[in-house]
């Protein structure tokens, strides 16, 4: 009797075994929307990342934590290690970057190179340049990286590779260059080189930005915000 019941159930047992075997080899697929699928195919986009954090996180960090240059520069001159400990950030083992703010007079507005610079005499003015501000149209990758690294919350290890990390700095530089075009009243980035230096020299500039401490005697600030007034 028992043998007969076993033989009757045998087809069902075989079917169950086949189903179990099939299921064990299955991989559960991730369901994505069409937009998510397209993003996955496209990969990391630095401009999208920067767009997401610029107003919500990056600019508030600069506004809240940027150090006044009139305080920071004397501290760097007196005790560079202390300045770095208090206010510096970096990625990897490179030079430290700082978030800063300041106001001063434009002494020179040099567009002879595509990596243009404005020499700034910080308030209170004494007739000599204290720092320079990059004015474009070329913003070097090392300068763009200063803006990224100075905030402290954009960490290399959070990205898949060096290319994605660099893409963030590049996208920030593109955004900054667009801001400079607007503030200088230029038609486009290349037109910055056509600005008459005499039209800018002597004006007051108020800025917030970042610099990398490669050379304390030659500080070049990349502005994230800038206003020029007569």
For residues 205 and 133, the answer to whether their CB atoms sit within 8 Å is yes
Mean pLDDT in residue range 96-116: 97
Angle at 127 between CA 123 and CA 129, to 5 degrees: 75
Angle at 51 between CA 58 and CA 96, to 5 degrees: 35
Tens digit of pLDDT for each residue in 126-144? 999 999 999 999 999 999 9
pTM, 2 dp: 0.81
- Which percentage of the chain shows pLDDT scores above 70? 82
List the beta bridge partners of residue 105. Answer: 121, 204
> How would you classify residue 190: left for phi > 0, otherwise alpha for psi between -120 and 50, otherwise beta?
alpha
Question: How confident is the prediction for the chain on average, in pLDDT?
Answer: 88
* Domain chopping of the chain, boundaries: 45-229
Tens digit of pLDDT for each residue in 8-67? 554 544 444 434 444 444 444 445 455 444 445 568 999 999 999 999 999 999 999 999
Domain at 45-229: CATH architecture: Beta Barrel (2.40)
209 CB contacts (<8 Å, ≥6 apart)? 62, 66, 99, 100, 101, 133, 147, 221, 222, 223, 224, 225, 226
Q: Where are the alpha helices (H) located in 69-140, listed in sequence order?
A: 69-78, 80-87
């Amino acid at each position: 009797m028992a043998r007969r019941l076993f033989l009757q159930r045998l087809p069902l047992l075989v079917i169950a075994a086949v189903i179990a075997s099939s299921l064990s080899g299955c991989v559960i697929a991730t369901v994505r929307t069409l937009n998510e699928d397209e993003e996955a195919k496209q990969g990391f986009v630095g401009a999208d990342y920067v767009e997401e954090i610029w107003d919500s996180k990056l600019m508030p960090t600069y506004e809240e934590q940027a150090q006044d240059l009139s305080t920071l520069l004397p501290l760097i001159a007196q005790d560079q290690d202390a300045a770095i400990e208090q206010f510096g950030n970096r990625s990897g083992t490179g030079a430290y970057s700082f978030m800063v703010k300041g106001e001063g007079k434009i002494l020179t507005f040099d567009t002879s190179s595509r990596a243009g610079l404005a020499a700034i005499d910080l308030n209170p003015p004494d007739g000599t340049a204290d720092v320079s501000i990059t004015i474009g149209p070329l913003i070097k990758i090392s300068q763009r990286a200063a803006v990224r690294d100075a905030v402290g919350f954009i960490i290399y290890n959070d990205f898949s590779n060096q290319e994605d990390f660099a893409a963030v700095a590049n996208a920030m530089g593109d955004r900054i260059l667009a801001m400079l075009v607007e503030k200088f009243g230029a038609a486009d980035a290349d037109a910055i080189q056509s600005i008459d230096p005499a039209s800018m020299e002597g004006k007051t500039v108020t800025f917030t930005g970042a610099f990398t401490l490669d050379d304390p005697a030659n500080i070049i600030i990349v502005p994230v915000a800038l206003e020029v007034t007569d």
